[in-house]
Amino acid sequence: MDTTLFLRGLILGFAIAAPVGPIGLLCIQRTLNNGRVTGLVSGLGAATADAIYGALAAFGLSLLTAFLVQQQFWLGLAGGLFLCYLGVRTVLAPPAQSAAAAEGHGLLGAYSSTLLLTLTNPMTILSFVAIFAGAGLAASSGDSLAALLLVTGVFAGSAAWWLLLSGGVSLLRGFVNARTLRWINYVAGGVIVGFGMLAILRGVGLV
């Protein structure tokens, strides 16, 4: 068994999570409005989805992977609509005067929303399948322990990025006033809606 699989998965998970897209914007906005814990839990929802799709690729679940690829249209449409919904909610959200206390219901919503959003992004599963195949990592699908190490690394790498992002952004919380938070909500929400509209247009083949 290749003992470097965990490290390779770690690097892969970090690299896939790091580009700032709609999930990153949500994490930043939620960290500034509700505190580091909410931002981190939001990121962990995405990390869980990365691990799920990484498992599909690493364990060689070709039938399920093929099915998900065939459902790109509906996944993209659902994800785009959900992005638009989250974007509008972000625009309308009142700026928090201070970081909110971490409550179970709020944390569950933060986690589940980014989990669902990442799972409905067809590019996530396509990215993992392509990267695993191109890097020769798909060979681990015949070894359950090797595949488990790889998937665990993917989750750890993705989670590490969200920990760094939420922690770094939380350091800025004391320098941001209510007026600035309002504009952050406007800009982040508008960009997220834009991502959602782009996903919908791609789904229907207009772009």
Distance, CA of 156 to CA of 11 (rounded, Å): 9
Percent of the chain residues topping a pLDDT of 90: 17
Ramachandran quadrant class, 96 (left: phi over 0; alpha: psi -120 to 50; beta: rest)? beta
Distance, CA of 152 to CA of 16 (rounded, Å): 14
100, pLDDT greater than 50: no
142, pLDDT greater than 60: no
Which domain range does residue 115 map to? 5-203
> Among 98, 105, 53, 91, which residue's Cα sits nearest to residue 192?
91
Distance, CA of 195 to CA of 110 (rounded, Å): 19
Q: How far is residue 119 CA from its own chain's centroid?
A: 8
Counted domains in the chain: 1
Give this prediction's pTM.
Answer: 0.78
